[in-house]
Amino acid sequence: MSRGSGKGLSLKDKLDGNELDLSLCDLNEVPVRELAALPKATVLDLSCNNLISLPSDFCSLMHLVKLDLSKNRLQQLPLDFGRLVNLQHLDLLNNRLVTLPVSFAQLKNLKWLDLKDNPLDPVLAKVAGDCLDEKQCKQAAVKVLQHMKAIQSEQDRQRQRKLQAEREMEKKREAEQRAKEALERELRKREKAEEKERRRREYDAQKAAKQEMEKKTKKEIVHTRKPASSSRPPQPPRHKPSWSRSVLRILLFVLFCILCTLAACKLTELQHQPLCISVNTLYEDVVAALQNHKTLQNMLQHNSHQ
C-alpha cells in the first residue's frame, strides 16, 4: 500500500509504548482499521500530513487520550467527534476549521486545546483565545467546552420548542379534525331530523287530504240519495195478471215447443228417429186435414153463392 494512503506502514514498528507517531508521513487519509487494532496506542500524532477530513469511523477510536492533528488541511471534524470521550489533549493548530461539531461538548475529559491559526467563527475564536502557554491552552479547553455546551443546550431547547410546537400543532389539527367531525355529525343529524319532519308533514298532509276526500265523497253520496227519495213520482198500483194471460202464455210456450220439435225433426238428422217419424206423420195428417177443411169451406162457399 502507498505511503500517501497510510497503507503499507508498519504501525507496530512506530508504536513506542503507548505513543504512535504518524507525523510527516504524507497521509491523505487515516488508517482507522489499523489504528483500531492497536488499542494500546492512546497517544496518536497525525501532525504535518495532508488530511482534509477524518472518516466517520475515526470516532470509534475511543481509546485515544492525546491526539495531535496540527498542520493539516482539515476543514471540519466528524459530527460525532464527541464519541472520543477519553480525549484529554487535542491539538488542532493550523488547519482550516471554521466551526466545531456540537457533539464537541461531550468531550468532558478534555483538559488541553489549541485552535490557533484556524479561520474560526469570530465568536468561537474569541471564546478559544490564544494558546501560547499551558495555562492558556487549558483555559481554551474549558471555555470552548462551556461554549459548545451552551450551543448544545440552546439547540436542545430549540429542538424541544420545535417538538413542542409540532405536538401543539398536531393537537390543534386533531382538535380541528374532531370539531370538524362533530360539526359533520351535527349537520347529518340536523338533516336527518329535517328530512324526518318533512316526511312527517307530507304524511300528515296526505292523511288530511284523504280524510277530506272521504268526507267530500260521503257528502256527495248523501246529497245524491236525498233528492232521489224525495222527488220520486208515485208509482201506479200494480194489478195482478189475470188467468187469461197466464193461459195465453202457456199456449204460446207449448206452440213454441211444438214448432221447435217439428223443425228439429224436419231439418236435422233426427228425422229418421221413431219419435220424429211419428211427429212428421202427425204433421202431415194435420196439414192434410187442414187442406181438406179448406177445400170443404171453398165448396160450401161456392154452393151458397149459387
Encode pLDDT of 234-264 as tens digits.
555 555 556 788 888 888 888 888 778 777 7
What fold does the segment set 12-155 form as a domain? 3.80.10
Counting residues of the chain whose pLDDT is more than 90, the rounded percentage is 50
Where do the domains of the chain lie? 12-155
Calculate the dihedral angle through the C-alpha atoms of 30, 120, 101, 69, rounding to the nearest 10 degrees.
20
Sign of CA dihedral 26, 29, 32, 37: negative
pLDDT surpassing 90 at residue 125: yes
pLDDT surpassing 50 at residue 117: yes
Parallel, antiparallel or unpaired: strands 15-16 and 19-21: antiparallel
pLDDT tens, position by position, 267-291 = 776 667 777 778 778 878 877 877 7
pLDDT interval class at 300 (50, 70, 90): low
pLDDT interval class at 143 (50, 70, 90): very high
pLDDT interval class at 3 (50, 70, 90): very low
Average pLDDT estimate for 53-77: 95
pLDDT surpassing 60 at residue 103: yes
Residue 128 CA to residue 90 CA, distance in Å, equals 13
Q: What is the mean pLDDT of the chain?
A: 85
